[in-house]
Structure 1
Amino acid sequence: MKAVLRWLGLVVLAFVALQLFFVVRIAAMVVIDPESTSFQRSEAWTLLTTKGSVPWRQQWMPYASISDQLKRAVIASEDDGFVSHDGVDWNAIEKAWERNAKAEALANKAQARAPDRPVRAPKIRGGSTITQQLAKNLLLSGERTLLRKGQEFVLTLLLEQLLSKQRILEIYLNSVEWGEGVFGAEAAAQHYFRKSASRLSATEAARLAVMLPAPKRFEKTPGSAYLAGRTRTILGRMGSAELP
C-alpha cells in the first residue's frame, strides 16, 4: 500500500512540476517572443529526415505591424468569438460535434446501401479556438489522446489568464504554418504575394486565412474552386470580425 501511495505521490508531483514549467514558459512570453514551437520543431525534423534539409521561412512581426486585414480574416475564418470567449468556444464545439455526427451517419448509410463499395471517411471538423490551436502547436505533441487534450485545455486557460488577447493573436500569427517550411504572417505574405504582411489587401488576407486548416495541401492547389469560394465567404465576414 505504501508503495502505491508513494507512486501516486510521485505522479502528482510530476504533474504539478509540469504545470509549473508551463506557467513559467507562458509567463515569459509576455515579453519574450518564442523562438519556435513544438509543432515547428516536429516539422523541421520531418523535413530533415525526408528531404535532407530544412527550408525555413519565418520572420517575427510585431502585432501593430501586421495588417488588420489579416487579423480580421483569421478571426473570421478560425474563431469569430476570439475576443469574447475565455479560450474555449463551447458553442463551436457543439456545432462541430453535430456536423461530425451527421457526416458519420451519412457515411454509414452510404456504406449500408453499397457494402461492397469503399466509402470515403467523413471529414472531421474541429471546434478549436485560436487559443486552443496555439496551446497545441506551441507546447504539445501532435498525438491525439485524451491526456493530451486535457493538457491542451489547461494550457488554453493559462494562455488566456497570463497573456492578453493581442499577445495571443500576435504569437499565433507569427508561428502558425502557412505551407511547407513557411511559418508566420510575414513569411506567408512574402511567399505567396511578394509583399510584407503589413501591406496585405483584404482579398490577399482572406486567401491566407482560408489556407490555415490545411496549408500544405492548399499550397499545392492555389487555384482551387474551394479556395476561391471560401475566400469570398471570409471577405464577407471580415467586416464584423472584432479585433482585440
Structure 2
Amino acid sequence: MDKLLYIAMSGAKQNMQALSVNANNLANAKTTAFKADLANARAMQAFGEGMPTRVFSMIERAGQNFDSGALLSTGRDLDLAIQGQGWLTVQTKDGSEAYTRNGQLKLNDNGALETSRGDLVIGDSGPIFLPLPISKLNISADGTIMVQPEGAPSTVQDEVGRIKFVNPDNRLLEKGSDGLFRRKDGNNEPADVTIKVASGSLESSNVNPISEMTDMIALQRQFEMQLKMMKTAEEIDESAASLLRSL
C-alpha cells in the first residue's frame, strides 16, 4: 500500500511542476523569439533502509524546444531575425556573455545598441556604440551596421561594427531565470560569420497554444488520477486496520 502512495504522491508533484511549465509557455505565446520549455521527469529508486522497493518520479531541469518561430515583418530598422540556426550575443548587467534570438533592438541615450530588456549587444570588439545623432541605420544580412550621420549626404554610409552571432550546439546551452541562454560550462562561444539575419523582421514565439492546452488537459487528468490513487491507498489502509481490529 505504501508503495502505491509513494508513487502517487511523487507523480502528483511532477504533474504540478509540468502544469507550471505549460502555464509559463502559454503566458509567453506572444513573446518575441521565446523558446518553449519542456517538463522533464524520470523514475528514480529511493535509497535508504527499507526503501529499495520504492520508486518515485524525480523532477529534472526543464529542457527547451529550440525550433525556430515564424518570421514576422515589422519594417523597423532596429529589428532583426536570425535565419536558421544561431544566436545573438549580449552582455548582461554583470558583464557576462549570454545568447538570445530576440532581435528587437534599441539605442540608449549614450548610443549603445541594446536589446529590448536593456542588455548590451556585443560586436566583434565588445559592446556596439553608434555615433549619435544619426539620420539612418541599416543592418546587413551578416550583421554589419551602417549609419548615415545626421546632416551627411545620403551617399555617406559609415560602418560602426558587426554584431557577434554564435552557433553553439544547443545541447551545450541552458536557459537562465532571465530567459537568456548560456553555455553550461561557462565559456564564451566563438563568433560564426556564416549566420545571416533578416532586417526589419522579428522571430515569433515557437509556443503552440493548442498543443500546450491539450497537454495541460492531459496533465490535469493525470493529477486527478494520482489523487484518486492516494485516496484508494487511504481506503485500503483503513480497511486493513479495521480487519485487524476485528480479529
Higher RCO, 1 vs 2 (CA within 8 Å, ≥6 residues apart): 1
> Rg larger in 1 or in 2?
2
Structure with the largest fraction of helix = 1
From the two aligned structures, give the one with the greater strand fraction.
2
TM-score, length-normalised on structure 2? 0.27
